[in-house]
Amino acid sequence: MAGKVHGKDSYFALEDSAAAVLRDIGVHCDTITLDRDIDMAETTTIGQESKTWLPGLDGAEISLAGKFDSLAVTGPDVVLAGDFAAKVRVGFEYGPEGNATSKVKYSGECYVSKYQVSTPLEGIVKFSATIKVDGAVARGTFA
């Protein structure tokens, strides 16, 4: 049956602001979430029995979580901490089905707005990040 996809095949790349190249940091993630929303202005007036709405601006945010890795150049700590510190707009690509030809690709520009490293006493060091999309999210396919 077409349409079902396993999360293990997902792909996420974020531009490394220091080198201006996309880095595949998805291989370090155990969760990637693309959250899209639309601001809704309520238009309900007196006498109506149900709420009515008017759509406004749309937006998106990406949440990443995974295993910490400080490997020079390609590790998520180098890319995320660098982009966070630089406070610059960078590119991203997200492939829920992977990045093979003809697979769905979400892409755009973003800012790393939050970066967190957690160190549990009896567990593996992890990271999480919040990425605010700046502008539209493009939906296409990998070539």
Phi, psi values for residue 76, rounded to 5°:
-60, -30
Q: Is 46 domain-assigned?
A: no
Q: Is 14 domain-assigned?
A: yes
Among residues 71, 75, 109, 77, the alpha carbon closest in space to that of 90 is found at 109
Query: Could you give the number of structural domains in the chain?
Result: 1
- Note the pTM of the prediction, 2 decimals: 0.91
Contact (CB, 8 A) for 141 and 103: yes
Give the CATH number of the domain where residue 80 resides: 2.30.110.20
Q: Is 44 domain-assigned?
A: no
63-108 pLDDT tens trace: 999 999 988 778 899 999 999 999 999 999 999 999 999 999 999 9
What single-letter DSSP state applies at residue 43? Answer: -
Q: Is 45 domain-assigned?
A: no
Among residues 63, 72, 81, the alpha carbon closest in space to that of 128 is found at 63
pLDDT at 1 over 70: no
Q: Is 2 domain-assigned?
A: no
Q: Is 101 domain-assigned?
A: yes
Q: Is 20 domain-assigned?
A: yes
